[in-house]
Amino acid sequence: MQIRKPIVQALFIPGMLFLGACCCNKSAVVTPTPLPPPPVVIHPSLGDVFFDFDKSELRTDAVAQLKTNAGWLEAKAGRKVIIEGHCDERGTNEYNLALGERRANSAKDYIVNLGVEPARLKTVSYGEEKPFAQGHNEEAWAQNRRAHFVPE
């Protein structure tokens, strides 16, 4: 009996409000008109550039991304970018640091040739130390062989 009393009280008042609204031909709940979603602003952003195994030469997909990154830099005239060179886990630490440096410099050189001031670009190599994808297979390794762009 003690459990029923709170349940009845909890249902009685909303039930009476609903019945009262039904009898008066008015809606019990007025739903507000939803606002339209805000407009989506699409602008090019910085993206990674990927490399083939043991290579620092730019692929065609890398060239397209570098052009997009250069456009971002043109639109953000005061911004600077760090280009991080990364490798997969194969190879020695020393070799991967050198390969990461060559990859970052390759990306930097291409963007400089597109007209971006070299002073706005800084390179650093992490070798295999900061992998993007965890795993010990070709799929993970392909994602880790990259030049990563970080705005300052």
Name all domains of the chain by residue range, CATH numbers in brackets: 49-151 (3.30.1330.60)
Q: Which pLDDT tens digit goes with each residue over 61-80?
A: 999 999 999 999 999 988 99
Q: Per-residue pLDDT for 50 more than 80?
A: yes
C-alpha closest to that of 123 among 110, 134, 141? 110
Average pLDDT over residues 106-131: 96
What does the mean pLDDT of the chain come to? 85
User: Given pLDDT bands bounded at 50, 70 and 90, which one contains residue 41?
Assistant: very low
pLDDT of residue 34: 65
Q: What is the DSSP letter of 74?
A: H
Q: Contact 50/77 with Cβ under 8 angstroms?
A: no
pLDDT of residue 43: 45
Cβ-count burial 112-143 (b if 16+ within 10 Å, e if not): eeeebeeebbebebbbbeebeeeeeeeeebeb
Query: How many angstroms separate the CA atoms of 85 and 120, rounded?
Result: 17
Q: Which pLDDT tens digit goes with each residue over 110-119?
A: 999 999 999 9
Does the reported pTM lie above 0.75? Answer: no
Average pLDDT over residues 99-122: 97
Provide the 3-class DSSP secondary structure of residue 14. helix
Q: Per-residue pLDDT for 42 more than 50?
A: no
Kindly give, in sequence order, each residue whose CB lies less than 8 Å from that of residue 44, ignoring residues fewer than 6 positions away: 68, 69, 71, 72, 75
Kindly give, in sequence order, each residue whose CB lies less than 8 Å from that of residue 23, ignoring residues fewer than 6 positions away: none
Query: How many angstroms separate the CA atoms of 121 and 123, rounded?
Result: 7
Q: Per-residue pLDDT for 151 more than 70?
A: yes
Q: Phi-psi category of 137—alpha, beta or left, where left has phi over 0 and alpha has psi -120 to 50?
A: beta
pLDDT of residue 47: 94
